[in-house]
Structure 1
Amino acid sequence: MIFAYNKEHVGDVLMVIVADDKGQENRVERKGNVSQVSVVESGQVVAWNIFDASTILGKIEGQGQVVLTEEQLAKVNEELVKAGFTETLVKENDPKIVIGFVKSCKKHPDSDHLSITQTEVDNGEVLQIVCGAPNIKAGQKVVVAKPGAMMPDGLMIWPGVLRGVESFGMICSAGELRLTDAPAIKGILELPFDAVVGEAFPINK
């Protein structure tokens, strides 16, 4: 679940993204200060918009992907009930952009530039991630955007399929992370080997 807020460019709206709509046609139902976004064909709820968010929640810290306090999340759920919806939103507390370790890396069988990695992201959890960076290799400490992450440019990370191979996240470059000292040369950001796997990687908002 992704909470996003950008008052300057979007207005005083808290956006809550709960699933990937995969480009399917959406239906929007608004009640009071809440709109529910669902896929027309399946009825799956993929997002919520909370209008007049700062009035309801108070000050929202950050820009882009934001973290709500428990009190703010409770107020969001109160607003859903007040508007007549029955769903309850549950916050995920685990970080989505983390330090990872590339355990293995092999060439994609149907691409001359993609690689298939098995990358540990926390406590033995390993994700298969397809990566197009020329400098990717086994044994690196890297930055991983897990499914459910929002990048600094607003890109949302979901599971996908690249040239017939499933991929569950993205191994990031310094440019994608909007680091101020990002090099012009393309390639993933390689971290010092003492970086701790599973720890959140701080990014600029």
Structure 2
Amino acid sequence: MIAFFNKNIGNVLMLVIADNQGTKIDYERRADITRIFREDTGETVAWNFFGKEFEKNGEIKLSEKKVWKLEDEIAEAGFMDTIEGTAASQFKVAEIVEMEDHPDSDHLHVCQVNVGNPEHLVQIVSGAPNTHVGLKTVAALPISLMPNGTLIFEGSLRGVTSFGMLCSARELNLPNAPQVRGIIELSDNLVAGLDFKEKEMWHG
């Protein structure tokens, strides 16, 4: 889940919780809440909450308590849906457990990645030249907002599904990021699944 606040258009809090995958969307408004959903499936992809107050424009972090309060407001407005998102960071310490060459590319790799549950590996396609089994790096999981404003969703790279991306230091705007291609190489001592914390984990 990604949360944005825009005080320039009615003090609206916008929550993006799913990718509409290019399909047509529709909306319904009740009281000060608008639900945006896919026309074909009815799946909720975003919520707008009007008349909110936050200190800054742009992306904001919502506490679990705040998410619960928004859930209550949705129910009070008469919606049957819920936010179904998470307030937790979507940038995780990730360990590449398995890797094979992409069947339709000479430089892409299909990786099975541990992001906290070794019994449920996440498939991510990477084209970084330093991708290898055993590497601890940073995974941006769906739905993540990159520093350049790009939203990360589940996608397909040449026919292979990728549930996020493995990040370079430059993509995360980290200080002293190497100017060569490659994903972040973290300490082997870090535990897969931890939230990535720049000040504690990056030593560029």
- TM-score, scaled relative to structure 2: 0.84
Stretches of 4+ moved more than 4 A in 1?
A: 8-11, 59-63
Aligned residue for 1:78, secondary structure, equals helix
Structure 1 residues 139 and 13, CA gap change in structure 2 (3 angstroms): same
Q: 1:29: how far off?
A: 1.9
Structure 1 residues 8 and 179, CA gap change in structure 2 (3 angstroms): farther
Q: 1:48: how far off?
A: 0.6
Structure 1 residues 9 and 184, CA gap change in structure 2 (3 angstroms): farther
Within-5 A mapping of 1:44-193? 44-54=43-53, 59=54, 63-64=58-59, 66-70=61-65, 72-92=66-86, 94-124=88-118, 125-193=120-188
- Equivalent residues of 1:98, 1:200 under 8 A apart: yes
The aligned amino acid for 2:95 is F
Q: 1:4: how far off?
A: 1.1
Q: 1:198: how far off?
A: 1.1
Structure 1 residues 65 and 142, CA gap change in structure 2 (3 angstroms): farther
Gaps of 5+ in 1: none
After superposition, the C-alpha distances for 1:152-190 in whole angstroms (9 at most, x for unaligned) are 333222222211212222111112212132222222111
What is the aligned partner in structure 1 of residue 18 from structure 2? Answer: 19
Structure 1 residues 4 and 93, CA gap change in structure 2 (3 angstroms): closer
Q: 1:83: how far off?
A: 3.0
What is the aligned partner in structure 1 of residue 42 from structure 2? Answer: 43
- Equivalent residues of 1:61, 1:67 under 8 A apart: no
Distance 1:67 1:165 in 2: 33
Aligned residue for 1:102, secondary structure, equals strand
Q: CA RMSD in A?
A: 2.5
Distance 2:57 2:197 in 1: 13
Paired positions, count: 198
Percent identity between the two aligned chains: 36
Aligned residue for 1:166, secondary structure, equals strand
Gaps of 5+ in 2: 200-204
After superposition, the C-alpha distances for 1:24-72 in whole angstroms (9 at most, x for unaligned) are 1111222221111011222221111111222xxxx478952523341x2
Q: Which is worse superposed, 18-27 or 8-17?
A: 8-17
Structure 1 residues 140 and 10, CA gap change in structure 2 (3 angstroms): farther
- TM-score, scaled relative to structure 1: 0.83
The aligned amino acid for 2:136 is K
After superposition, the C-alpha distances for 1:94-121 in whole angstroms (9 at most, x for unaligned) are 5421111112222212112211111111
Aligned residue for 1:144, secondary structure, equals strand
- Equivalent residues of 2:7, 2:57 under 8 A apart: no
The aligned amino acid for 1:133 is A
